[in-house]
Amino acid sequence: MKQRFKVRSRSRRGIWAFVAIVAVGVILGGGAWLLDLVPAAAPPIPILLQSLPGQPSQEWFAQRLKEHFPIGSSEADLIRELWLEGFLPKTNLRAERRTAEFDSGDKGGFRRCRLTASVSWTADDKGQLTGLDGGYSNLCP
């Protein structure tokens, strides 16, 4: 009987040790995630929003859009690129002024900051861009 008691005692110690190790791992992992020490699995940032300067501005984003899609370029190319980057249309594509938006909060994953961007444009009957503008925000708690 004494031997059986010792086996239970050892197995309980093993269980408590396992529980303690798991708890420490959860605490350290959660702390590392909250402090951004470990990159969280999150949707990729659109290329148009990558490499933001130290003090990004709305003008910077609008200029970047115009560099990638100059006035007179194909509206279809703009729409295709925005779609591939994760932007979704917010207006009818036959509207006079069309808009597409990106929201990292809609993409799932564990991103601490919420990145949103909006691109609006106009095009002529031939499908050529006549106007292009955009804005973004990066909200961190």
Residue-wise pLDDT for 78-134, tens only, equals 999 999 988 999 998 888 999 999 988 766 555 667 788 899 999 999 999 999 999
What does DSSP say about strands 88-89 and 98-103: parallel, antiparallel, or unpaired? antiparallel
Q: Which of 67, 83, 63, 79 is nearest to 136 (CA)?
A: 63
Decide: helix, strand or coil at residue 109: coil
Q: Is the pLDDT of residue 62 over 80?
A: yes
Q: Is the pLDDT of residue 36 over 60?
A: no
CB burial readout 52-77, b (16+ within 10 A) else e: eeeeeeeeebbebbeeebeeebebee
Residue-wise pLDDT for 1-25, tens only, equals 555 555 556 677 777 777 778 887 7
All residues at 6 or more sequence positions from 141 whose CB lies less than 8 Å from its CB, including other chains = 112, 113
Residue 99 identity: T
**What does the alpha-carbon distance between residue 85 and residue 83 come to, in Å, rounded to a whole number?**
5
pLDDT of residue 114: 79
What average pLDDT does the segment 48-75 reach?
84
Indicate the Cα dihedral angle 124, 128, 131, 135, nearest 10°.
130
**What does the alpha-carbon distance between residue 99 and residue 52 come to, in Å, rounded to a whole number?**
22
